[in-house]
Amino acid sequence: MDRLFRIVVLCWLVIWGGSVWAGDYSKHPEFVKFIDEMVEKHGFERAELETLIGKAKKKQSILDAISRPAERTKTWEEYRPMFVNKTRIGRGVTFWKNNEETLKRAEAEYGVPAKYIVSIIGVETMYGKQGGGYRVIDALSTLAFDYPKRPLFRRELTSFLIMCRDYKLDPLTIRGSYAGAMGFGQFIPSSYLSYAVDFDGDDSKDIWANPVDAIGSVANYIQKHGWVRNGLITSRARVSGDAYQSIANESLEPTKTIKELVGYGVTPATDASLPDQEKAALFKYQGRLGAEFWLGFNNFYAITRYNHSRLYAMSVIQLGDEIERKRNSKDKKES
């Protein structure tokens, strides 16, 4: 009985201890330290910030969702149809048509093809239709205080609060993903501060409701992360022997020259004229018909800076290519 009592008391303490800040982060053990830092380093008003963070809610669904992202749990065969499908292709054609002049201007200014700007927005939010249902203040507070990778999300919570203060946004009404990503292109707060642009000249960087600013911001982000105008993206690859296995999916960054790749039994399947010193990374995808091998070049790597996943980057590329193909075939039929 005494042992049972101790177990019951222990369980009660765990539940009670967790619930102390389940609905009020002002009682979280690390809250005071965070507030001190925001006041001392970033000039926030203590009382105002205490009231704001006190309104943030811990969400278990956020902790559950972030522990099983599709990029880590699905094969290419499972992942690709989630994004490269008739619905996203069709809606991508419509989004392109509705924003044609803006996309043309973004491509001219940043060098990123319109089709990939469209496909990034399509993969991220179904062209603005699925921007996320969580209050960003809840998502980032939950992850900043109750998730193992707290430093990353504490930085994002800091950026979010700075963003809202500097751009006069209401932190309690902005909604986004379970990871705190926002708007058409799902920018995290630090990305908003660094890469969001006012692409229509109205003195606002509105990535939530304004596709013009969203398009310019996505293009700016990709260009700033190394996209080279008319540069190489991907090429199908052939493999032979066993040496290639040691470098397949080794790195997202293109670190091996074509000449070095040949030494591993890897050759480009679609472009035999690539210079020996061109750098690439080898990727293996488990597709519906078996293993596929691809080379990813500099511009592929630039897309992975948006989401650090080879599955994500390939889906963006293939969706963009399919949208362009569908759009061109539509134009031919109408002409």
Point out the residues that are catalytic.
124
Q: What is the rounded distance in angstroms from the CA atom of residue 118 to the CA atom of residue 97?
A: 11
Q: What are phi and psi of 307, to 5 degrees?
A: -150, 120
Neighbours of 74 (CB within 10 A): 14
Q: Which residues of 169-192 are buried (b: 16+ CB within 10 A; e: fewer)?
A: bebeebbbbbbbbbbbbbbbbbbb
The residue behind tokens 């249902």 is 133
Spatial neighbors of 199 by CB under 8 A, at least 6 apart, are 102, 105, 106, 212, 213, 215, 216, 217
Q: How far apart are CA 11 and CA 104, in angstroms?
A: 60
User: Residue 150: what residue type?
Assistant: R
CA angle 64, 65, 67 (to 5 degrees): 70
Q: What is the spatial distance between Cα 140 and Cα 180, in angstroms, rounded to a whole number?
A: 6
Start-end of H helices in the chain? 2-20, 31-42, 46-54, 60-66, 70-73, 76-83, 86-98, 100-110, 114-125, 136-146, 150-166, 189-195, 211-224, 258-263, 298-304, 310-334
Tokens representing residue 260 in the block? 């070095």
- 292: which DSSP letter? E
